[in-house]
Structure 1
């Protein structure tokens, strides 16, 4: 199917973090998503899942498969970042307009001439399967020696090797492991023209139209247990420009994700919020609610505590034989003050019902 991108603001709650280096409050994040069938162009949805801290980036998904991320790099004598150095008294922010389907990200920065300016990008649906992204550093249009940013497309590790990539119609040939191991800093290849991924299989592919000229690809190989040891990385870096536009063309897409999880409790969590809720392993509303199987079906949320190699009896959470309504109970001790909570499977509910 080809269709106009559907703007779907998806809302999710998130837990804050508090440890020796980070202090972020919990809250609710409304995530802009542009959907064409089973393809999603989303703000702040990295490979690890929904995340409220990466709203400077735009991510592309096909069903549950992560495809890549767009970010901007900028640097000058006052610092560097994605893009430019952040200002402590003027944090970045974003806004979305549900009526028009536009999303705008804005980040103040200190320009090379000492002036304060604001970098922005704006996402706008622009026809069948297409979403335009326009960016601007806020520099005077008549000036020549101004700050510029480089758009980067960071391909999902390893996944990009499952199909073909072409720039300006020229197919990119992945490097061999031997070549990459001999070049630990990566191998650069000059490319130009629009990016077409999986052109031979449009339902799995996409196109990014780059009207700003040639760029470079950097391919590298590293080793990570999270990626079955081999991590094949690929980054496209476009030339720097003070302002410009690019277009995501999501192409054809399936009407629905064939691998989408089944509804849970009669609620289609995946179709509504792209959230995977596991099927309950038992008929109980909460599995192992009395902790008779220890901490099975429970896990720690991310945090700053250490859960292993602690003295016996000093664990934050332990299961004891002191249950009030059963044989077991969960003991929560006051030590490990920075410890995060524990969690289990989500419970489907209906508003206003108990």
Structure 2
């Protein structure tokens, strides 16, 4: 009996150590700045509101900034760094259309005035994304904090890690899985396309040269193709098109209805119908009353926000988000 108790206690200790080591590795928790900067979240929200109230269309770019940050080197603020000795992520082609850096800089400045050298740019990105979405009538969620800022940002890593609008379902599945995200996360986070706009170049091949023979993507609704051709001429690199026509400023579940009608703007949108799990999610959200999309989006955003984070003594707390200290 004594030996049995010792073995049982040893097992409990091992489990406790594993749990503690996992939590330390993750290193994020709610109320992280409660003692060091108690007003951090309210300052960030107030400053963000100042921009979104004047320009609601900024919500989509700010959400996209957080997404593009987390998919390259994890959620470490590396997408915010300017190129110095090397070309940084923000200079990679998929990131040239990113906007909203001025909002992050303004938020960082406001926080620094009250709590210098405390709140990371990576945490600011996560909070601004959440606040921006909630301010345009989307969901809100609790954001675990404690991310540290990375010191490295490389253009080639952005090219290698960001999911492309031209990806098929196999490529999307592999890309998301490499970040610890599953097929439901893929279907849910793709719903972020309910807000925002895109340049014609991101989908022009579907209109004019899908297989290299001057043809149109047969998976697209022909009437939708005709509408898009009126806006986007061959080779157009400047025109912007709504990703969710009619409600691109409002965070809602209309995106999924568009997908079922073969009116997804990107190949990656249409690809959701190529997998049984993602297709089921699309049709479920498009058909039910009282959609679960808001709740699901909140869960997947928290999950994405934990990808590859730096915590503890890793990285740094940048004084200015565009430069390492």
TM tier, smaller: under 0.3
Q: TM-score, normalised by structure 1?
A: 0.23
Structure holding more helix per residue: 2
TM-score normalised by L of structure 2? 0.24
If asked which structure has higher relative contact order (CA below 8 Å, sep 6+), I would say 2
Query: Which structure has the larger Rg over C-alpha atoms?
Result: 1
Q: Which has the higher strand share?
A: 1
